[in-house]
Amino acid sequence: MKRTMGKLTALIMAGILALGSTGMVSVMASDEGEKAAPELDVKEIYGKSPDGEAATLATELKLTDEEMQKIKDGNFKVAICMHQMDNNVNTAKVDLIKSMMEENGVEVIAVTDGQSKVETMISNLETTIAMKPDLIISIAYDVNAMVPVFEAVRDAGIKMVFFECAPSGFKAGEDYAALVSTDYYGNGRFAAEYMAYLLDYKGQVGIAYYDADVWTCNQRDQAFRDVMEKYPDIEVVADQGYAEITDAGIVADAILAQNPEIDGIYATWDTPSEEVMASAQAAGRDDLIITTVDLGENSSRILAENGMIKAIGSPRSYEDGKAIAMAALYALIDKDMGAGFIATPTMGVTGENVLEAYKTIYNTEPSEEIKKIWEENHK
């Protein structure tokens, strides 16, 4: 069942056209009612920490003037040990964290780049331990292999704030101060709810998921599955994984070949979703609906041009960076955060709101190219 009819067309067919006093045609919902589109500016946290702990909303973290002065008087030193610094999201986070540390009189003594290699991250952390910071901000890029090095950080009396992933077996409030993350479950939930909405809550969908033990990815994928189970008229006809990003297209080829009537496919984040899009285009399925997680430059352009990627449940990268910095400042003065899991809510992004959403997510304007594309397709 290929879907070429848009939501507006479906609404007109299901509802009643009425001519208002202004002479404009308006659409009234049918007696059965038309389900509203999912909320884009999400406020709620839907996911929990890896340990099942409910989150403290990042916006609840605030410092008094007295606490900020205490931080400044502490002459604290902080190090930031990143897993990768080759993308705008991470560099923007680091820049914001550094800025907030400096504003509060905290010296950032090191920023390291793991270059997406666990061994490099471990080496960087070992070097950083010797510099004796008061606190290290980092990520357990491999939650198991990096346990010994983070044990060494803990045993050296250095406080830790993690983002996205904490080491296996570590407990918030005991081994580290806090884990800060976007609501990855909420990201996947939005991608699923908007897929269901675009399909009028009936049809066939497929899942092309990242087949690895990565909590942030596993959360969003499971959320998509959980949402689809709510809708009896939506059938998940394929649920296939890929170990390498470049294999996402191969998985999509198989899903499309085995399910020629499929209406939509979800992919774990925007880069593999672009592989899915290329496969669909090659198969002549320009009508396929794709939803995903993470807003990048390419996916912003695709949304702006009304391409096949229709909706994205995105982290709020700027707010994530701010939350990481706030958690670190709290930890330096041992202030209670309410929970060891701090989270930011999902930003729902579609073609209609991509320009405003981009500004919210990155705290900067999208490129002039994306603005131009949007204006050409949203008159």
| pLDDT tens-digit series, residues 164-184 | 999 999 999 999 999 999 999
pLDDT tens per residue, range 292-302: 999 999 999 99
Distance (Å, whole) CA 266 – CA 253:
14
Query: What are the residues facing 242 on neighbouring strands?
Result: 210
- Residue 100's contacts (CB-CB under 8 Å, 6 or more residues apart) are 322, 325, 326, 329
Mean pLDDT of 353-376: 96
Distance (Å, whole) CA 151 – CA 340:
18
Q: Which of 306, 330, 309, 320 is nearest to 379 (CA)?
A: 306
- Position 32 scores a pLDDT of 45
Mean pLDDT of 340-347: 96
User: Hey, how many other C-beta atoms are within 10 angstroms of the C-beta on 173?
Assistant: 12
pLDDT tens per residue, range 203-238: 999 999 999 888 899 999 999 999 999 999 999 999
- Packing angle between helix 297-304 and helix 354-362, nearest 10 degrees? 160
Is residue 87's pLDDT more than 80?
Answer: no
What does the chain come to in residues? 379
pLDDT tens per residue, range 125-137: 999 999 999 999 9
Mean pLDDT of 262-281: 97
Average pLDDT over the chain reads 91
- Position 3 scores a pLDDT of 43
Sign of the dihedral through C-alpha 103, 105, 106, 107: positive
Is residue 335's pLDDT more than 90?
Answer: yes
Q: Which residue has the higher pLDDT, 360 or 33?
A: 360
- Position 23 scores a pLDDT of 34
